[in-house]
Chain A
């Protein structure tokens, strides 16, 4: 994918399977939004092979569109409409695409309950708080019971409780509805909680991919070992922490105290990978 003379994305290669939650993680300008917009069929790519639900998004028809849900970063649309009115209206477009195993659209009252907006059903959208507006965006994204849901920074502006409820909702979507979810986030904690698989993007490339555990393991020399010896504190980063500690005891035996072995957190892994990627780009 190139954008003007500058190539923005290269080497983005991944597959998501049904019911999986895939998280795109990366700093600003890494290419997360570009990637997601290509997959949503909102942006055309200059090269590459892309299939979403078996269809090239660049030529996806309305039937394909009905199977996709989209939640973008900042919606301000339909501000004069009432919450229930808009969900009812937009849901109407999906009725023709209802199938035996997937009844479309999601009944409005049930949907309002699911996203926690039952109390705001009659509210004008312009009067919603930031977090409520975001929930409405999510509700609109899933009103057609999508098989594939794209979420671009879904929890920006959520308080911790709303964030937790949102995470429960995502789990419900993947477990009960078998929806495949692709979401972008800055929030490492969120990525770790939600993702079956995390892809780290930096400089328009996927620099690493896997579950949070796998990612941590992938980054060599990241396990931190701390101990005290003769009243002094030592810190060492070891690739193979087990054999390092074994060696430590063999050499110093009883002199070792206060041992701590800390595998690197996702945050450390992430920082290291992004720094490496940005360093190599320069």
Chain B
């Protein structure tokens, strides 16, 4: 297993290098960063209600949670759908232990992409420098939060990617994700929302990731802008844990089902459909 893991790591490394040398991909990572920086500039002067701390700092940290969810779910799903369409997945199936190597590689790639998405928004940190605070307790929080961030999102991304037959339909998934961004307290504290929307937001990982990151990277005084005036670490751990366990329990079955149905003629049929769409 160690051997397959190494192959998967190598695979993820190669694909990470490829994406970083592809102009279109790099633009895809830079665009959200630029939009975020614009937003932060517009937010200069505003503070989080009830505190002296810049609203920009709150938004900056929360949006790291948003980017992680988008990478874990959307990017993962898109890669899988793309790889199914061009036969990469079938190739993995034709190789001994190839499927395991493929999934490990993809996880490495998505984790890498997610870290990169967060790194490119870092210049934003200078815009909100005054509002950030990072200490040993914060570092400890990140230690359990970051793995949970990946575990609670990637299995669902992989499952969604295996359910949708083409990349175009998949982009519709962006709509509910943007909806979640709107209600998860990313760009404004969640306490400003009506109670029932707060309830909906708290069902999904995005809110909890944002909350966890805020607890790790922002001054404790900001806790007054959170529900129940608490960082709720235990709840965060539990909610993300439940999503992780559910994802890890469901994903192997769903992915196996998808893999079973892969064959040369299935790939050819999908390709034909894609061609017809382009022709119309």
Contacts and interface: CB of A to CB of B under 8 A. Distances in A.
B263 A65 contact: no
Contact of B91 (A62, A66, A140): A140
B94 A92 contact: no
B96 A79 contact: no
A42 B90 CA distance: 9
A62 B96 contact: yes
Nearest to A70: B94
A73 B86 contact: no
B276 interface: no
Contacts of B267: 72, 74
Interface stretch (B6-14, B58-66, B145-153): B6-14
A42 B10 contact: no
A65 B96 CA distance: 5
A74 B268 CA distance: 7
Interface stretch (A93-101, A222-230, A248-256, A266-274): A93-101
A37 B83 contact: no
A73 B264 contact: yes
Contacts of B265: 33-34, 37, 43
Contact of B96 (A34, A73, A75, A94): A94
A93 B97 contact: yes
A78 B265 CA distance: 18
Given A33-B265, A81-B14, A93 B95 contact: yes
B7 A42 contact: no
A76 B86 contact: yes
Contacts of A74: 87, 264, 267-268, 271
B88 A78 contact: yes
Given A85-B14, A89-B10, A92-B10, A42 B262 contact: yes
Given A92-B10, A93-B101, A77 B88 contact: yes
B86 A62 contact: no
Contacts, number: 82
Contacts of A66: 96
Given A74-B271, A77-B88, A79-B86, A90 B264 contact: no
Contacts of B264: 33, 37, 42, 72-74, 152
A127 B88 CA distance: 17
A281 B3 CA distance: 52
Interface string B1-28: 0011001001100110010001000000
B222 to A, nearest CB: 43
B87 A72 contact: yes
Contacts of B49: none
B96 A63 contact: yes
Contact of A89 (B14, B18, B22, B87): B14
B98 interface: yes
B93 interface: yes
A37 B7 contact: no
A78 B15 CA distance: 10
Contacts of A262: none
5 contacts: A33-B264, A43-B263, A72-B264, A73-B264, A78-B91
What are the 5 tightest A-B residue pairs by CB atom distance, in nearest-first order? A66-B96, A42-B263, A77-B88, A72-B264, A77-B87
Given A73-B264, A74-B271, A96-B97, 6 more contacts: A42-B94, A42-B262, A42-B264, A72-B264, A74-B264, A89-B14
